[in-house]
Amino acid sequence: MREDIASLRNEYTQAELNEGTIDVNPFNQFEKWFTEAVASEILEPNAMVLSTVSKNGIPSQRTVLLKDANKEGYTFYTNYDSKKGREIERNPHVSLLFPWYDLERQIIITGKAQKVSKETSVNYFHSRPRESQLGAWASQQSNEIADRSILEEKLKMLEERFLNKEIPLPENWGGYLVIPESFEFWQGRASRLHDRIYYQDEMEGTWKISRLSP
The b/e string for 82-92 (b: 16+ C-beta within 10 A; e otherwise) is bbbbebbeeeb
- Among residues 128 and 196, whose Cβ is nearest to ligand FMN? 128
Q: C-beta of 23: minimal distance to ligand FMN in Å?
A: 27
Question: CA–CA separation, 98 vs 109, rounded Å?
Answer: 9
Q: What residue ranges bind ligand FMN (CB under 6 A)?
A: 44, 47, 60, 62-65, 76-78, 82-84, 141-142
Residue 28 or 40: the one with the smaller Cβ distance to ligand FMN is 40
In the complex, minimum distance from the CB of residue 214 to ligand FMN, in angstroms, rounded to a whole number: 28
Q: Which is nearer to ligand FMN, 80 or 207 (CB)?
A: 80
Which CB sits closer to ligand FMN, 85 or 111? 85
CA-to-CA distance for 74 and 26, rounded, in angstroms?
A: 12
User: Catalytic residues, which ones?
Assistant: 192
For residue 44, which amino acid is it? E
Least distance in angstroms from the C-beta of 131 to ligand FMN: 15
Shortest gap between Cβ of 173 and ligand FMN (angstroms)? 9
124 within 8 A of 77, measured Cβ to Cβ? yes
Q: Which is nearer to ligand FMN, 64 or 179 (CB)?
A: 64
Query: What is the smallest separation between the CB atom of 139 and ligand FMN, expressed in angstroms?
Result: 9
